[in-house]
Amino acid sequence: MNRAFDAVIIGGGILGVSTAYELARAGMKNVCVLERHYLASGSTGRCGGGFRQQWSTEANTLLAMDSVKRLEGLEEELGYHTEFFQGGYLILAHTPEEEQQFAKNVEMQRSLGLDVNIVDPDEAVKIVPYLNKETIRKATWCPKDGHINPFLLTQGYANAARRLGVQIHLWTNVVGIMKKSDTFFVMTESGNTYQTPLLFNCAGGFSRSIGAMLNVEIPVDPYRHEILVTEPVERLWNPMVISFSVGLYARQEMSGGVVMGMGDPNEPVGTFVGSSMHFMYEMAQRFTRLFPKLDKLRIVRQWAGLYEMTADAQPILGPVEEVDNFYQASGFSGHGLMLAPAVSQILADMVVNKRKSEVADSLNVKRLYNLKDVVKEKSVV
C-alpha cells in the first residue's frame, strides 16, 4: 500500500475528520486520517454534545459564533442527519459574583453581535420547567445555542471527506514520528510508515505525547470527566442547562434520555476513563438540588471521557515555531465538538489558501509558554 500523502492528520475525532474534510474541500488531494481505535472513540464520542456561544473570552466567543453559523447549513452540505438542534443554552447564576461576571460576559457577547439576554428566575423556569428557581438569582439565555449528536456529526464529516477522496485508516496507532528535511515519517504500532510534508496533531487528550514525538511541547493535560444518561422520557425541555458553581450540565437528547455531567476539581491528571461510584452519588445530589421534582428519573448508563485542558482553557491552534508544517488543533478543554466546525475551516484556509487568521494567531501554542499574560476562560464546567 502507498503510504505517502499530501497531509496526514493524527486523530479520528471531530477535529481530525472535520479538518480532513475542510482540507479536501479547499482542494487538497490525498489526505489521510490516522485513528488508533474507531471514529469518535476518544473525547468526541464521550462528550455532552452541546454547542454554545456564551463564553467569557472574545476568542472563544468569536470561534463559537463562527461554528454555529457553519453548523446551521452543515446537515445539508454533508448530506447527513446529525440531530442538530438549536434548543438554546441557559446558564444559571446562583451567586452575586456569578451575576456580576455574567453581566460582563453578556455585554462582551452582545458587542460581538450575539443574541443573548439576562433573564430572571420566573422566565428561566418557563424555558426549563422543573428547575428549582429558589436556587438561582439570574440566568443568561441564548436561543441560538443548542446540541448535536457527536457520533453522527463525526460520521457525517467522515463520509463527506471520503467522498472527496480522504482516506481514514482506523485501528492505526501512531507510536513515533521523525522529520527528515521536509518529510515527516509517521510510524504506527503495526510497523507501517506514513510519509507526508504536512502533519496535523488532532490527538485530543494525547496531543502532548504526539508533540513530544517531535520534541515540541504541547501543554495539554487530560482530565477525566464523568457523565451519565437516564432512560428516555417525554420531552422535558429543549436547551442545555449549565451551572458553573453547582458544577453541572444537563440536556435532553433527541431520543429522550437526559445526559448530564459534571466537573470534579479533585480529578488528577491522567488518561483513565473508567466510571466511579463517587460520580453517581455526587451527580445525584447536584441534579436533585436543581431538579428536585425529577428524582424518579432512572440512570441507565454512565461513562467518562477526557477534557484536554490548557492553562487558559482555550484551544491550541496553528503552527509551531520549532517544526515547520506541524499544525495543532488540540487543547479544546472540553469544547472541541462545538468549536471544530469553525476551527477546521480556519486551519484549512491557513494551510491551503495561506490566509491569516487573527483568532488563530491569538491561540498559538506560544502564548502558553509564558503564563504571565494568559487570560483564563471562566465559563467552563
Partner 1 sequence: MKIICRCQDVTEDEIIAAIRQGATTIDEIRRLVRAGMGQCQGRTCRRLVAQIISRELKTPPAEIYPPTFRPPNRPVSFELIMAELERQEAENGEKK
The verdict on 45 binding partner 1 (CB under 8 A) reads: yes
Q: Name the one range near partner 1 by CB under 8 A: 184-192, 293-301, 317-325, 335-343.
A: 293-301
Instruction: State the nearest-atom distance from the C-beta of 297 to partner 1, in Å.
Output: 6
CB 83 within 8 A of CB 259: no
Q: Which of residues 262-281 bind partner 1 (CB under 8 A)?
A: 275, 280-281
Site membership for partner 1, residue 233 (CB under 8 A): no
Chain centre to alpha carbon of residue 338: 5
Q: β-strands 7-10, 31-34: how paired?
A: parallel
Nearer to partner 1, 58 or 83 (CB): 83
Q: Is residue 167 at the binding interface for partner 1, with CB under 8 A as the rule? A: no
* Nearest-approach distance from CB 88 to partner 1, in angstroms: 24
Exposed/middle/buried for 202, CB within 10 Å: 0-12, 13-18, 19+?
buried
Cell (9 digits) for 97: 459574583
Q: Does the protein bind partner 1 through residue 294 (CB under 8 A)?
A: yes
CA distance 88 to 199: 36
Whole-number minimum distance, CB 287 to partner 1, in Å?
Answer: 6
Per CB under 8 A, contacts with partner 1 among 138-157 are: 151-152, 155
Q: Measure the CA dihedral 95/304/334/35, to 10°.
A: 180
| Residue 300 within binding range of partner 1, rule CB under 8 A | yes
Give Cβ neighbours of residue 272 (< 8 Å, ≥ 6 apart): 224
* Nearest distance in Å: CB 153, partner 1: 12
Sequence letter at residue 62: L
Q: Is 238 in the site for partner 1 (CB under 8 A)?
A: no
Q: Which CB sits closer to partner 1, 153 or 380?
A: 153
Residue 293 in grid coordinates: 421534582
Residue 297 lies near partner 1 (rule: CB under 8 A):
yes
Dist. CA 214–CA 372, nearest whole Å: 26
Which phi and psi angles does 110 have, rounded to 5°? -65, -35
CB of 298 to partner 1, least distance (A): 4
Report how far apart, in Å, the C-alpha atoms of 186 and of each of 4, 92, 138, 208 are.
10, 46, 51, 16
Asked if 160 interacts with partner 1 (CB under 8 A), we say no
**Site for partner 1, residues 82 to 141, rule: CB under 8 A:** none
Determine which residue in the list 159, 167, 238, 325 makes contact with partner 1, applying CB under 8 A: 159
Polymer length of the chain: 381
CB of residue 211 vs partner 1: minimum separation in angstroms? Answer: 28
Q: Does 189 bind partner 1 (CB under 8 A)?
A: no
- At position 376, the amino acid (one-letter code) is K
Footprint of partner 1 (CB under 8 A): 38-41, 45, 151-152, 155, 158-159, 168, 170, 231-232, 255, 257, 275, 280-281, 284-285, 287-288, 294-303
